[in-house]
Amino acid sequence: MKQYFKVDEWNIIEEGLHPEDNRIYESVMSLGNGHMGIRGNFEESYSGNSLQGTYIAGVYYPDKTKVGWWKVGYPEYYAKVINATNFIGIDLYINGEKVDLAKTKVKDFKRILNMKHGYLLRTFTIIDSKNRETKIEVKRFLSIADKEIAAISYSVTPIGHDAKVTFIPYLDGYVSNEDSNYNEKFWVEIDKWVEKYKGYLTVKTKKLNFYVSTAMKYSVIQDDKTEVDVETIEKKKYVGNKITLIAKKDKTTTLYKYISVTTNRDYPTDKIKDKALEKVENAYNKGFEKLFHEHSKAWDKLWEESDIVIEGDTKAQQGIRFNIFQLNQTYLGDDPRLNIGPKGFTGEKYGGSTYWDTEAFCFNFYLSTRGEQVAKNLLLYRYKHLEKAKENAKKLGMKGALYPMVTMTGEECHNEWEITFEEIHRNAAISYAIFNYVRYTGDKNYLADYGFEVLVETSRYWADRVTYNPRKDKYMILGVTGPNEYENNVNNNWYTNTMASWNLEYTLKVKELLETEYPEKYNKLVNKLNLTEEELNKWKDIINKMYYPYVESLDVFEQQDGYMDKELKVVEDIPKDELPLNQNWSWDRILRSCFIKQADVIQGLYFLSDRFDIETKKRNFDFYEPRTVHESSLSPCVHSVIASEIGYKDKAYELYLRTARLDLDNINKDTDDGLHITSMAGTWMAIVEGFGGMKVKNNTLSFKPFIPDNWNKYSFKILFRGHLLKITVTKKEVIIKQEKGQNFNIRVYDENYLLPKDGKVIVKLNK
């Protein structure tokens, strides 16, 4: 396997310039702070292969849906995450020669993503046409402490010669998306202004009127002061300054560029310019070091809450840290309007921000590391979209609510019929997150205040979507796509049928709970929702008579009707150069084959873990995993959790490493498009729920840890019902320390323990 980065616990290091893989490096080196993000693009011009990307949370473009054959029910638009004003730009000329790392001679190039303090550092030496060397060092960060602020320090040191240096710091809104039709530009200029040392630009999206103001201010600091000449530049959607000076031999000249980015999502439209100017002024007055100090302190806190420490395996350590780092850069839960996009701020792919990924994969990470309120915000996000989900179901001729496959505002913005109309299992994931939240937090009020409505409407959808088959006296769900997107339009996907029925069951269970514990609220809800006995009976009938495909000879669940009619090969049979299948095989060949993109039956075993015994999990894992190509980033993590549970420790570790290093090692050969943010939370699951065996059942937190053979020790922290715990697993013992909270009971390897306030429970490691 090609090694892209040096293995290091806290840093992601690229040594030497890699023009051929530059997009991969750019994705991995992305920075973000929940409000905005940028790919690891260079400040100075680069004419080589690059995907320019600056993204602002919640700012998108509804691109008109264009398809060959319009199908009733298609959404009007596809939400594009749009490339916004480039604010990092600083063109550089040394002795009149433009620095362009695709053309300029360069040596000792290093690009380092420092995860501990959240910054990107580049160091390199350029060699001009007269063989003179000049050292460059560039450091930038997007402040986690003040989300609208970014800062760059750009230093130039000529070695053994005086150099005439020209910096052109600029803001450029003349940008487009690579995936835009006919190179369409999404922004129009509203206002701009530039003077020496300062400038700003306001642009607005052509549709939806998102206004974004970007302001910059800079200073130039020299070891040996020289005269500085400054000119202003104005172009279409562009402001800049041209700064020319002499950089003295062996002395360092640094340009500090401060940037603020404000939008009318956060302020009234007529205030964003003033706000941007005020913020950039404050940033400038604080200075680079102070801003950086505040930023890195905020990172210290985030790491304190969410770090996982692994001893004895630097590759694994780097992998998990990279995942946690990117998750925290993407979403911190402080803005309930936002959600977690599969690519975060690292690329254009997967327009729209919210997929079932949030509920199925990201939820637990945020629940355990950021706490109940953040998790609740994620649930409320969907609650607020309930009306839209009802409209969506209606549009498709169905009752109840069908949540969109992909969304920005609650409206569907995905337009491939086999997914938009058929990948309906997502509805159950949204209900499952409610169950998961209540199981973990014990917050039953949520059910009465919000959850029940979502459960009833999703249940109504399922009750309408099933088909009763009188010949078999069974309910079936026809024409679906399960989580395994390498099969479309199948009948009776086991996972979908199982989760649909579970959704109905849970709704009925919650109904009973509300009836007894919240009678007043319950009565109001019954009226509001027009809930009738007749429909409740229908739900019970569906639960009793749901059809589940099953392979008797192997005693495994059948992924869908007809799966066993396929040529049953295993992934080992596929020649290596034909992988990944989605880049090598025709689509019809993929559909006909038995190869599975991602956890499907296994996803069901994971969600409804308590319903299936270890033997059942083993049999299904043994049958399906060897046929799974894991070409969705969401696949290895779930498999890893199940592998841990059934005692397949090596397999669990192998799959863990695959999920943790998916982007660092470009395993699915698509990191150039951006990072797989949502599956990164799956990596966390693989350690905490897999290796750590963490579960919550009957209001009790339990652990069943093991340690991978090549690890000496690992530890993670979790928040649980007001308790902050640190779990450490060594080769010999499991130590559960209570860092915050009162005495409470936990279970370790199925035994009860009292975990005292400020105390520990130490249990011998079960080998």
- State the catalytic residues: 485
Cis before 169? omega within 30: no
Write down the residue that tokens 């922004």 correspond to.
187
Q: Which residue lies nearer to ligand BGC by CB, 676 or 717?
A: 676
Residue 483 within binding range of ligand BGC, rule CB under 6 A:
yes
Buried b (16+ CB within 10 A) or exposed e, 32-70: bbbbbbbbbbbbbbbeeebbbbbbbbbbbbbbeeeeeee
Q: Is 585 annotated to bind ligand?
A: no
Q: Is 357 annotated to bind ligand?
A: yes
Residue 496 within binding range of ligand BGC, rule CB under 6 A:
no
Question: One symbol per residue from 251 to 270: x for binding ligand BGC (CB under 6 A), - otherwise; what is it?
Answer: --------------------
What tokens were used for 746? 């936990």
Q: Which residue lies nearer to ligand BGC by CB, 376 or 597?
A: 597
Q: Which residue lies nearer to ligand BGC by CB, 646 or 662?
A: 662
Q: Write the burial class of residue 449 (CB in 10 Å: 0-12 exposed, 13-18 middle, 19+ buried).
A: middle
What tokens were used for 682? 């799956």
Residues 6+ apart with CB under 8 A from 366: 331, 333, 374, 375, 378, 681
**Position among 485, 558, 645, 689 found at the interface with ligand BGC (CB under 6 A):** 485
Q: Is the dihedral of CA 36, 41, 44, 47 positive or negative?
A: negative
Residue 372 within binding range of ligand BGC, rule CB under 6 A:
no
Q: Is 726 annotated to bind ligand?
A: no
Q: Which residue lies nearer to ligand BGC by CB, 405 or 643?
A: 405
What tokens were used for 118? 């959240």
How crowded is residue 30: how many other Cβ atoms within 10 Å of its Cβ?
28
Q: How far is the CB of 625 from ligand BGC (least distance, A)?
A: 17
Size of the chain in residues: 767
Q: How far is the CB of 385 from ligand BGC (least distance, A)?
A: 17
Q: Which residue lies nearer to ligand BGC by CB, 582 or 730?
A: 582
Residues 6+ apart with CB under 8 A from 157: 134, 135, 136, 137, 247, 250, 251, 252, 253
| Whole-angstrom distance, CA of residue 271 vs CA of residue 283 | 18
Residue 457 within binding range of ligand BGC, rule CB under 6 A:
no
**Position among 632, 640, 671, 715 found at the interface with ligand BGC (CB under 6 A):** 632
Q: How far is the CB of 577 from ligand BGC (least distance, A)?
A: 22
How crowded is residue 709: how many other Cβ atoms within 10 Å of its Cβ?
11
Q: How far is the CB of 598 from ligand BGC (least distance, A)?
A: 6
Within residues 669-708, the interface with ligand BGC by CB under 6 A covers 678
CB-CB contact of 33 with 325 (8 Å): no
* Piece in contact with ligand BGC (CB under 6 A), picked from 208-216, 299-307, 350-358, 705-713: 350-358
Q: Is 583 annotated to bind ligand?
A: no
**How many angstroms separate the Cα of 495 from the Cα of each of 547, 605, 608?**
11, 9, 10
Q: How far is the CB of 112 from ligand BGC (least distance, A)?
A: 28
Within residues 286-345, the interface with ligand BGC by CB under 6 A covers 342
* Piece in contact with ligand BGC (CB under 6 A), picked from 98-106, 351-359, 487-495, 536-544: 351-359
**Position among 357, 412, 625, 665 found at the interface with ligand BGC (CB under 6 A):** 357
Q: How many chain residues interact with ligand BGC (CB under 6 A)? A: 12
Residue 427 within binding range of ligand BGC, rule CB under 6 A:
no
Residue 354 within binding range of ligand BGC, rule CB under 6 A:
no
* Piece in contact with ligand BGC (CB under 6 A), picked from 1-9, 354-362, 524-532, 599-607: 354-362
What tokens were used for 580? 């990944």
Cα radius of gyration (the chain):
27
- As annotated, the binding site includes 356-357, 597-598
Query: What does the binding site for ligand BGC look like in residue numbers (CB under 6 A)?
Result: 342, 350, 355-357, 483, 485, 597-598, 632, 634, 678
